[in-house]
Chain A
Amino acid sequence: MSTPFRTPYPTYNVLDKWDSPSFNDQTREVIGRRLDEVPPRRFFDAIQWATLLAVCNRVIPQPERRHDERVPIAPWLDAALHERRGTGTRYADMPTDRRSWKQGLDAIDAEARVRHGLRFAALAADVQDAVLKAIDDGDVRAGEAWAGLPPKRFFRHLVLKEIVRIYYVHPAAMSEVGYGGPASPRGYVRLGVDAIDPWEAPRGRWPGENDE
């Protein structure tokens, strides 16, 4: 469906700064845990979990990474819901986050079965994408499954939002977009256009520009 993803910053790894003044102790503790202590499934049931893994895989596909290098997303979603972490907002037209997630994943699965006779997790990637796109358009056919849950709001404000909120705090994601990452006590000196400190990602390789 789409061309493979290439980061503009192939040589940059934010974790190379682990022992530098860009990281302080508490940041090392927090990111260390994120890397080492991936939580087990406690909130979703097995079927919801399979659907969730498939959804995460379509929202943030990571084909260029080996399986053990892929950024885990579903475990953190599960943990947040298990721990009742909360986001501060429950839209009036939605059930609580915990109920929305369970119902929503069931509904995505139901949508796949109504449309294609298969579980969502069993669909081909491009078919999964099409199902998710339809949900985002509010074009749902598994009517009952969506009762009381607006598909588009569920998909954008819970599914997409919470997935990117987990993916883009991972060092691998920071590195791929060239974000400076942790910065305390050391911040930045050079603030100007195209001005880069030595502890930042070197200038990116952008399509259409000559690599020198």
Chain B
Amino acid sequence: MAHVSNTRRTTSRFALGDVLAVAGLGLAAAVVIGARARRPSVRAKTVPAAPEAALAARRVRDGAAILGASVLLDSAMEHYRGRFHNAAMYLAPATAAISIAAALAEPRRERLETPLRIGHALALTVGFAGLGFHVYNVAKRPGGFSWNNLFYAAPLGAPGALVLSGLLGLASEAPTGLGRERHRDDEHWTERYGEEGRFLAAVAGASLLAETAEVWLLHFRGAFHNPAMYLPVSLPPAAAASLLAQAIAPRRGSRAFARLSLRATAVLGFAGTGFHIYGVQRNMGGWRNWHQNALAGPPTPAPISFTGLALAGLAALDLIDAAGKPNR
């Protein structure tokens, strides 16, 4: 009879603290590297005159970076829990770090453009590969695609966040590219803003829905024991719906609601982090038992991903807005 696992690895070679330290350093390094590449600021006079596009692009990238940070910390912790029993499990946090750096960097200089694009594409690819791994992990367990395995085996939604991070990064190319290539005498640029805004709105809206699905699964696992747990499965879908509505038919009248719901979703990311920190605290032993509770309690790095997606959504609205403004 085949064994469930052929792994003969002994106990982890390092502790959760080490993993978090490395992940934290990775995060910091990614931020520093990305921010250095980003200079000079878009607000500087040297920026091509397309502030709406550049600002929107930056916002999308900020969103992608936040998403990447969430993935980095979450995957580092979850894969630590899974003992990094497959070397590929290191790829997730590593790729997330690259994704953050790439997202923060501004692809202004020609020589950076390709590497950054590769960074985003890498996140996308690794995310999809991870999805495959996780599907395989669930499928091979007794019970297969049972609820128990969906709850507790490798989470299918998690690699999806890496996919989204890469996707947003790539999508951010569009407005920036437009901004850079813009010709003052191009009379149609505002229309193209609109198209790109709508494309971004569709991407961000769909991403929000995907994220909501994962949150629903995990909050369902937690039996929605706190009514607040319904917030992240009701507010983000509302925001997503209004975004998708804008993508399909960008009407100014309903944009205020879209903006409001996205801002609320962004705030929810922070509030959720607070709730999750409280959730860890209320588990047996609280933070004193953090070696267990940081892993077994609600995932603290997860909720902030909503903030990232909401930023991208807001950027999409900015672009759509800009499309409606008169040419300067």
Contacts and interface: CB of A to CB of B under 8 A. Distances in A.
User: Are A and B direct contacts in the complex by CB distance below 8 Å?
Assistant: yes
Interface of A: 21, 184-190, 192-200, 202-203, 209, 212
Given A190-B83, A194-B5, A200 B11 contact: yes
A193 B289 contact: no
B3 interface: yes
B11 A202 contact: yes
B8 to A, nearest CB: 7
Nearest to B12: A198
Grouping DSSP codes into helix (H, G, I), strand (E, B) and loop, the B interface class, with mixed when no group exceeds half, is: loop
19 contacts: A21-B285, A21-B289, A186-B284, A186-B285, A187-B284, A187-B292, A189-B295, A193-B3, A193-B4, A193-B5, A194-B8, A194-B9, A196-B10, A198-B11, A198-B15, A198-B16, A202-B10, A203-B8, A209-B8
B7 interface: yes
Query: Which 9 residue pairs of A and B lie closest in terms of their CB atoms, listed nearest first?
Result: A185-B285, A203-B10, A193-B4, A196-B11, A202-B11, A21-B289, A202-B10, A185-B284, A186-B289
A203 B5 contact: no
Contacts of A203: 8-11
A21 B291 contact: yes
Interface residues of B, number: 21
Nearest to B14: A198
B4 to A, nearest CB: 4
A197 B81 CA distance: 8
Contacts of B15: 198
Contacts of B284: 184-187
A184 B288 CA distance: 12
B88 interface: no
A21 B288 contact: yes
Contacts of A196: 10-12, 83
Interface in B260-286: 284-285
A202 B8 CA distance: 11
Contacts of A192: 4-5
Contacts of B292: 21, 186-189
Contact of B81 (A21, A184, A189): A189
B47 interface: no
A197 B11 contact: yes
Contact of B291 (A193, A195, A199, A209): A199
Contacts of A187: 284, 292
Given A189-B291, A194-B7, A212-B8, 19 more contacts: A21-B285, A21-B288, A184-B284, A187-B292, A189-B81, A189-B295, A190-B83, A192-B4, A193-B3, A193-B4, A193-B5, A194-B4, A194-B5, A196-B12, A198-B11, A200-B11, A202-B11, A203-B11, A209-B8
